[in-house]
């Protein structure tokens, strides 16, 4: 007499093993994505929409766009600080020029720099004339092309973060 089986057999065990591997891979991918990919939001400024990558901790703000190959025209990097100050930006390990816009705590443009070049590092940092809470980095040429000016207000959506 043969012992009774659970009905799974060899193929059933293999299927369960494969499913467990897929599930483990999905969990690991989710954890890696949450750790290494910056949170995002939508920003409207000067009548245009940008997907912004939020940098709200010291390590991500230091890294910024360093080492990246480009910044698409419809994207921006948003540096979020806990207080208003004259936050400076450097071009360490940058491969391309950018426009830099500073926003105060009410999200109004207080200053900007156009075409900040990679070769400015280490001799030059870029600092606003007025204290700011946020710094936004755009593709070079965005400020002039989109007509971004001091006093304009940025509006954020699509995130649960307090911006």
Q: DSSP alpha helices (H): ranges in 4-120?
A: 9-36, 58-63
Taking the C-alpha atoms of residue 71 and residue 74, their distance in angstroms, rounded to an integer, is 8
pLDDT (tens digit per residue) in 119-147:
999 999 999 999 999 999 999 999 999 99
| pTM, to two decimals | 0.77
Taking the C-alpha atoms of residue 105 and residue 35, their distance in angstroms, rounded to an integer, is 27
- The predicted structure's pLDDT at residue 163: 86
CATH number of 40-157: 2.60.120.1140
- The predicted structure's pLDDT at residue 30: 42
User: Which tokens is 38 given?
Assistant: 């910056």
Low-confidence ranges of the chain (pLDDT < 70): 1-9, 11-13, 15-37
pLDDT (tens digit per residue) in 58-74:
999 999 999 999 999 99
- The predicted structure's pLDDT at residue 15: 60
């Amino acid at each position: 007499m043969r012992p009774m089986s659970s009905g799974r057999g060899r193929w059933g065990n293999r299927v369960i093993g494969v499913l467990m591997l897929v599930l483990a891979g999905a969990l690991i991918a989710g954890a890696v994505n949450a750790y290494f990919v910056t949170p995002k939001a939508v920003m409207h400024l000067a009548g245009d929409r940008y997907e912004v990558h939020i940098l709200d901790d010291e390590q991500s703000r230091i890294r910024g766009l360093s080492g990246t190959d480009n910044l698409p025209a419809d994207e921006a990097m948003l540096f979020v600080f806990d207080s208003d100050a004259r936050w400076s930006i450097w071009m360490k390990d940058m491969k391309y020029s950018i426009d830099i816009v500073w926003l105060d705590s009410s999200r109004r443009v207080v200053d900007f720099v156009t075409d900040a070049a990679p070769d400015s590092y280490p001799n030059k940092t870029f600092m606003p004339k007025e204290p700011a809470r946020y710094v936004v980095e755009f593709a070079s040429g965005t400020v002039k092309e989109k007509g971004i000016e001091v006093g304009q207000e940025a509006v954020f959506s699509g995130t649960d973060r307090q911006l």
